[in-house]
């Protein structure tokens, strides 16, 4: 509460009063949410969880209705023309947003790490693309380093382990951010794997082209998860989630839950 006009505040109270007045007058951060095509098609609850978290951080969230794919599958498959067309579509749809957030280090990494080179043939659009590249962040990174979220809605009783998805870790620098947020979840115990940064074997088209190799890599990840004794494995990319969960179930593990970090933080993992 601001101090009444009749009070004679101390210097410290004056500073607090000033900061409060500034925070009350500061407009909310306007965020364009890039839902990702996989989340939209396979597990839309992740998108709703991301919205809940962004709103908890005081953001105004806008979801462009015509968004589809970032172009990563085409790019990884060597279909440069299709990847360029999809990248240009993303640039048009998210033009004007100061902040663009994705609940996926992989899709955010596609934009941040590859759009500039991919769109080098389009000098007019490249200028707008560079603005998008600079404004795009993975969800937990944005919540920690931009929005400064210090309290999350979720609660989870039990032990979880965290898997560092390759693209988020190596292209977006996502490592400490999700762990800092998970530490805010009441009841949650984080048990680290021996090699949390080791790949799960997904790699997009890699798991399709090299299925046997992918399965062996996934087996090592599943062994690491099991060794922690955690009730769930938490991570930030749905593609990796599907790969890990599929391998766990094929190995006969029907109890270890595979959750997106947004679901845990938002408290929507059971919905």
Q: pLDDT of 66-119, one tens digit each?
A: 999 999 999 999 999 999 999 999 999 999 999 999 999 999 999 999 999 999
Q: Compute the distance between CA of residue 248 and CA of residue 231 in angstroms, rounded to an integer.
A: 13
> Residue 193 CB: number of other CB atoms within 10 A?
20
> Does 48 score more than 70 pLDDT?
yes
pLDDT recorded at residue 205? 81
If one compares 207 and 228, the residue with the highest pLDDT of the two is 228
> Average pLDDT over the chain, rounded to whole?
92
pLDDT recorded at residue 208? 82
**pLDDT band for position 259 (cuts 50, 70, 90):** very high
pLDDT recorded at residue 25? 53
Q: What order of strands is seen across the sheet that includes strand 136-138?
A: 60-62, 30-33, 99-102, 136-138
Q: pLDDT per residue over 123-162, tens digit each?
A: 999 999 999 999 999 999 999 999 999 999 999 999 999 9
Q: What percent of the chain has pLDDT over 70?
A: 90
pLDDT recorded at residue 206? 86
Q: pLDDT per residue over 60-76, tens digit each?
A: 999 999 999 999 999 99
**pLDDT band for position 207 (cuts 50, 70, 90):** confident
Cβ(58)–Cβ(29) under 8 Å?
yes
Q: What order of strands is seen across the sheet that includes strand 257-260?
A: 188-190, 158-162, 232-235, 257-260
Which residue segments constitute the domains of the chain, with CATH numbers given? 30-144 (3.40.50), 153-266 (3.40.50)
If one compares 205 and 142, the residue with the highest pLDDT of the two is 142
Mean local confidence (pLDDT), 19-35? 73
> Residue 31 CB: number of other CB atoms within 10 A?
27
pLDDT recorded at residue 4? 44
Model pTM score:
0.88
Mean local confidence (pLDDT), 237-254? 97
> Does 19 score more than 80 pLDDT?
no
């Amino acid at each position: 509460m601001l101090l009444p006009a009749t009070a004679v505040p101390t210097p410290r109270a004056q500073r607090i009063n000033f900061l409060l007045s500034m925070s009350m007058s500061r407009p909310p951060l306007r965020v364009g949410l890039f839902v990702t095509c996989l989340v939209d098609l396979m597990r839309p609850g992740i998108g709703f969880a991301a919205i809940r978290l962004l709103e908890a951080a005081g953001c105004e969230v806008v979801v462009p209705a015509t968004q589809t794919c970032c172009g990563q599958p085409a790019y990884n498959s060597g279909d440069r023309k299709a990847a360029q067309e999809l990248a240009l579509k993303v640039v048009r749809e998210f033009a004007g947003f100061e902040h663009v957030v994705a609940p996926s280090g992989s899709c955010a990494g596609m934009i941040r790490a590859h759009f500039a080179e991919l769109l080098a043939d389009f000098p007019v659009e490249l200028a707008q693309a560079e603005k998008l590249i600079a404004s795009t962040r993975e969800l937990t990174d944005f919540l920690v380093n931009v929005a400064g979220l210090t309290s999350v809605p979720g609660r989870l009783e039990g032990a979880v382990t965290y898997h560092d998805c390759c693209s988020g870790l190596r292209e977006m620098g996502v490592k400490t951010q999700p762990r800092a947020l998970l530490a805010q979840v009441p009841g949650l115990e984080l048990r680290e794997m021996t090699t949390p940064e080791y790949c799960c074997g997904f790699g997009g088209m890699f798991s399709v082209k090299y299925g046997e190799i992918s399965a062996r890599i996934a087996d090592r990840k599943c062994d690491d998860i099991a060794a922690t004794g955690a009730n769930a494995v938490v991570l930030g990319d749905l593609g990796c989630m599907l790969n890990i969960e599929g391998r766990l179930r094929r190995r006969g593990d029907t109890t270890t839950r595979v959750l997106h970090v947004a679901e845990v933080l938002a408290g929507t993992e059971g919905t």
